[in-house]
Chain A
Amino acid sequence: GAVVSQHPSWVICKSGTSVKIECRSLDFQATTMFWYRQFPKQSLMLMATSNEGSKATYEQGVEKDKFLINHASLTLSTLTVTSAHPEDSSFYICSAIKELDGGYTFGSGTRLTVV
């Protein structure tokens, strides 16, 4: 139980285009989801906290107009990287809190490469 499905697993896009990443909780309701970014040999850095039905809370230094987060339902949060540039190439991963026990479940991550 408590599975979070994230897709796509990997994506290559051209500079200037937008990419949407989806994160779904398959068997539980996730009122809160978190989006992280991980550059090679770096730690997972929190980008934003996504709450169902309200605006996301972004961490300092993360551009909210560039990284659009939508959490319109209790089972789906999306991250859209707008006007992607090569420096946005990274591993993006979502996490959700399991309401039943408060544990954290991670999606399998999305490797974004912008060329």
Chain B
Amino acid sequence: RKEVEQDPGPFNVPEGATVAFNCTYSNSASQSFFWYRQDCRKEPKLLMSVYSSGNEDGRFTAQLNRASQYISLLIRDSKLSDSATYLCVVMSQAGTALIFGKGTTLSVSS
């Protein structure tokens, strides 16, 4: 079983749509969780951290369910500029490498 699993998509949505991405992780001892965004042929960039209480940053909402080992990302009012690959990322403990999911590709069209 892979450490971090995501639905690869692609998700093709119109502008203004709401889209949700899901992710599961296998290591129950994992401590930190993130969503990264990666544009084609670029390095990944941190979108947001994910907390058990759930957190929101503008149009983006992330949630973590430790019991189910499940992470989600919700994007509201999609913009063309949201088109990218969204990577679910887990860190087992501070100072160790980030473990990446395969990514979910989002394409927003006008």
Contacts and interface: CB of A to CB of B under 8 A. Distances in A.
| Interface magnitude class on chain B | 10 to 19
| Interface magnitude class on chain A | 20 to 34
Interface string A19-51: 000000000000010101000011111100100
B100 A44 contact: yes
Contacts of B87: 43-44
A46 B99 contact: yes
28 contacts: A32-B95, A34-B97, A36-B100, A41-B102, A42-B102, A43-B4, A43-B87, A43-B100, A43-B101, A43-B102, A43-B103, A44-B100, A45-B100, A46-B97, A49-B97, A93-B43, A95-B97, A95-B98, A97-B95, A102-B95, A103-B46, A104-B46, A106-B43, A106-B44, A106-B45, A109-B41, A109-B42, A111-B41
- Name the prevailing secondary structure of the B interface residues: loop
